[in-house]
Chains A and B, each alone.
Chain A
Amino acid sequence: MDDDRIKNKPVSEGRRRFLIGSAHTGAAALLLGGGGGVATAKAGTASTSEQVQPDIRATIPTELNVNGMSHRADLDSRMTLLDALREKFGLTGAKKGCDHGQCGACTVLIDGRRELSCLTLSVAAQGREVVTIEGLAENDGRLHPMQQAFIDHDALQCGYCTPGQILSAVSCVREGHAGSSEEIREYMSGNICRCAAYTNIVAAVAQVSQQMGE
């Protein structure tokens, strides 16, 4: 595992780049149960080709496009996109709530649409464009209108579900499903908030929806 994780501190741009860089070293695959060597497939072998890999535990050289940047790592075929983001690329914005597609905390944008990173295999996400909460603000640091609306409306309490809520909310408006409070509630129902900040979340989504002239 990467031992250079930062706890309780915002990741500075420079630090983030370092973390991203460290992913290139390709940590060894996690071994479950009995030992056995880890065969790392040679760099450059295409994971999508017809070859049958001799070792079922061999890692797969994987390239993912996240927030407009290319991230490379040798990943276990079992690693979900959520785990790759958090454990390999230092992008801890997407949260692990249920890890079974039931809570929405891991919501990211893939090819412009909201999807669940916990049910997406990293190797299967190759060739697709992933946007996480870290990629939502402008490069100069200005927040996305939805991020600002969540602050304006106090649409969070503990904050754990918030990255998923915000990405889902951005999509909700883009999809044209934010026409009324009732519609917002229905189309945001895939994001659970244990603090029940729902009333203020609906207000934040409604504000952005009006701003964008829906």
Chain B
Amino acid sequence: MQPFHYSRPSSLGDALMQWQGSVANSSDTTSAAFLAGGTTLVDLMKLEVIQPQRIIDLRALSATYEAIRVDDSSLRLGAFAKMADVAGHRDVLNNFPVIAQSLSLAASAQLRNMATLGGNVLQKTRCAYYRDPSWEACNKRAPGSGCAALEGANRQHAILGTSEHCIATYHGDFGQALIALDASVVLSGPNGVRAIPFASLHRQPANTPHTETNLQLGEIITEFIVPILPWARRSLYLKIRDRQSYEFAVASAAVAMELEGGIVRDVRIALGGVATAPWRAREAEDRLRGHTIDEARAAEAAHIAFVNAVPQSHNAFKVPLGQSTLVRALLDVASMEVSNG
């Protein structure tokens, strides 16, 4: 780990001022980093993948931005809420099962106690070539250097949203749940406060894999807003992985469905473990709306979801696995018993 200055500002305003102060004297905007739970940042600093000269510890903001609240129209999740607390929250368990499941199936109990929601959605890929700086070629870590995964061990890598510059998978789970529930995210930064759809937070790699989000410089996620929509209760997260627990998804699906008299009124599908960012399968959704759901129709939708997949040398299996995962998720969500109370 490289040396760094440490500070713990007492408020959001102080944190933003400190960030601006530290990058003002530097041409490198990555010279300062915000610390929340630390489960990604400290790990990558030890690996010297990320080497900030200044760490701005946001712990003091937790008290202000960790509440879990339900009002008339939405579930509001403070970005500093810990994964474990949201996963075990009664309202979340009862009314937003896909959120509870995406969180409780992630990482380990210890990590869920540490990691914040905001940090979770900003977690870095687990691509082994990104995480090991002894590999020269990684466009995410060293823009313009190439991508070692293209010719390397790419079984874990993405098949949707890739480019010739990067095929790293987005490994998070919670992000898919937020896509499935049409959530938005509240950002505070040097230019003020704004809210954007969560679906537009992440970017696909294209030819700038090192730019992973649409966050403006110095912006901090303060809150997630999940609207209470008819399909939130009939929702689930299905995570398929190489071992049963404490492992990243090889393929996953977050599905939320509004079902009326056996007809799909509306549906949201987000895929994980197979894409470069939290991935919404819109065309697959379109295939289901207005129809009854059975295995054949679910399989049609799943086929459409992966029709543009670009498998690499070691991960062609992700196409049928991803399709099967989605079929099972759709059939399971359709058979859920959901009360309207």
Contact = CB atoms under 8 A, between A and B. Distances in A.
A22 interface: no
A99 B108 CA distance: 15
Interface residues of B, number: 37
B317 interface: no
B5 A123 contact: no
B38 A190 contact: no
Contacts of B246: 189-190
Given A119-B39, A124-B38, A168 B5 contact: no
Chain A: interface residue count, which band?
35 or more
A165 to B, nearest CB: 12
A21 B84 CA distance: 36
Contacts of A188: 109
B51 to A, nearest CB: 11
Interface stretch (A52-60, A129-137, A144-152): A52-60
Interface string A86-124: 000000000000011100100100000111100111011
Contacts, number: 101
Contact of A115 (B4, B6, B55, B113): B113
Contact of B5 (A77, A121, A171): A77
Interface string B51-94: 00101010100000000000000000000000010000000000
A107 B110 CA distance: 7
- Chain A binding site: helix, strand, loop or mixed by DSSP? loop
Interface stretch (B7-15, B193-201, B230-238, B281-289): B7-15
B118 to A, nearest CB: 16
Contacts of B5: 52-53, 56, 77
A115 B9 contact: no
30 contacts: A32-B3, A50-B14, A52-B21, A77-B3, A77-B4, A77-B5, A77-B55, A78-B1, A78-B4, A101-B39, A101-B43, A104-B110, A113-B84, A115-B110, A115-B113, A119-B43, A119-B114, A120-B42, A121-B38, A121-B42, A123-B6, A123-B57, A168-B110, A175-B109, A186-B244, A187-B109, A190-B109, A190-B110, A190-B111, A191-B108
Interface of A: 32, 47-50, 52-53, 56-57, 60, 76-78, 80, 99-101, 104, 107, 113-116, 119-121, 123-124, 168, 171-172, 175, 177, 185-191
Interface of B: 1-10, 14, 18, 21-22, 35, 38-39, 42-43, 45-47, 53, 55, 57, 59, 84, 107-111, 113-114, 244-246
